[in-house]
Amino acid sequence: MASSPKIGLVDGVPVTALAAITMASASAGGVFATDWLYRDNALITASFQGQDIVTLVVAVPLLLIGLVLEVKGSQRGRMLWLGMLFYTMYAYLFYAVAAAFNQFFLLYVATFGLPLYALLFSVPRLDLGQLGNAMGGTIARAVAIAYASVVAVSLGILWTGISLSYLVTGDIPQPIVDSGHPTGVVFAIDLVFIVPPMLLAASWLAHRRASGWVLAGVMSVGGSVYTLTLAAASVEVARQDVGSGSALPIWAGLTLLGALTALLLFLGMTRATRRAEAH
């Protein structure tokens, strides 16, 4: 295990602990107080509820596990920690700007902001070159490139194409109509926070840059957990009969591909750690 820098108050570690508390509180409220909390239409409320369940039982524990392992100096723990910080920031940005205003608004802002600052504060702790060099493997590299490319190209074409179609037809895109929100929040967030990082990860891996391994690890960990929440949202939408849930196979497939990518990267780090310890 690698040594970890001393922990200070303005540091990614204590800020992550606060983020775990706010995320647990926000998701628990969504699970147990849905009718009292959400003011969105039935489709979006059911989607949020499905996501809240996965966040509470999967994302919060993974973030805490990653945090504990990071404090212990584990390289694999560091990757899990960074990936789950990205998940928390990305997921709760949606709640902060897309959920109808409710009693948890400030909690959503905190749960989006805290992991963002935790990532920024963590930079002095990180040796990205060492972290990237700890990963490797031809199969892991190929799968990671495939995962990042599929997600980036699919979302890029989808959201850009839908947006451009409005210039031709003048019709508000159906996903925006269904959301009950006046703007393409999902389009904007994905085109900034998902498409470019995924493209960079694929490109850097293709050029065998250490930073590509790190970015692919972060995006596969955070991405697979997020698509799992979307799969749960699809199940909940269908269960409550407020939508078809037809996207379930897509989200399930991306979850499996993302999880496989993360697993291969973690196994590569295990082998690299053992080789280093042997010498």
- The answer to the question of residue 226 being in a domain is yes
**Mean predicted confidence (pLDDT) in 30-47:** 94
**Mean predicted confidence (pLDDT) in 14-28:** 96
Q: Domain limits at 205?
A: 12-278
- The answer to the question of residue 6 being in a domain is no
The pLDDT of residue 48 is 96
Q: Which of 14, 154, 202, 183 is nearest to 94 (CA)?
A: 183
- The answer to the question of residue 65 being in a domain is yes
Q: At what angle do helices 12-32 and 75-98 cross, to 10 degrees?
A: 50
**How many Cβ atoms from other residues are within 10 Å of residue 227's Cβ?**
22
Please determine, for residue 1, whether its predicted confidence score (pLDDT) is greater than 50: no
**Mean predicted confidence (pLDDT) in 116-121:** 91
- The answer to the question of residue 5 being in a domain is no
CA distance 154 to 216: 17
Beta strand ranges found along the chain (DSSP E)? none
- The answer to the question of residue 135 being in a domain is yes
Q: How many domains does the chain have?
A: 1
The pLDDT of residue 270 is 60
The pLDDT of residue 13 is 86
CA distance 239 to 256: 22
- The answer to the question of residue 196 being in a domain is yes
pLDDT, one tens digit per residue, over 147-198 is: 999 999 999 999 999 999 999 999 999 999 999 888 999 999 999 999 999 9
- The answer to the question of residue 189 being in a domain is yes
- The answer to the question of residue 3 being in a domain is no
pLDDT category, 211, cuts 50, 70, 90?
confident
Tell me the whole-structure pTM to 2 decimals: 0.91
Please determine, for residue 33, whether its predicted confidence score (pLDDT) is greater than 70: yes
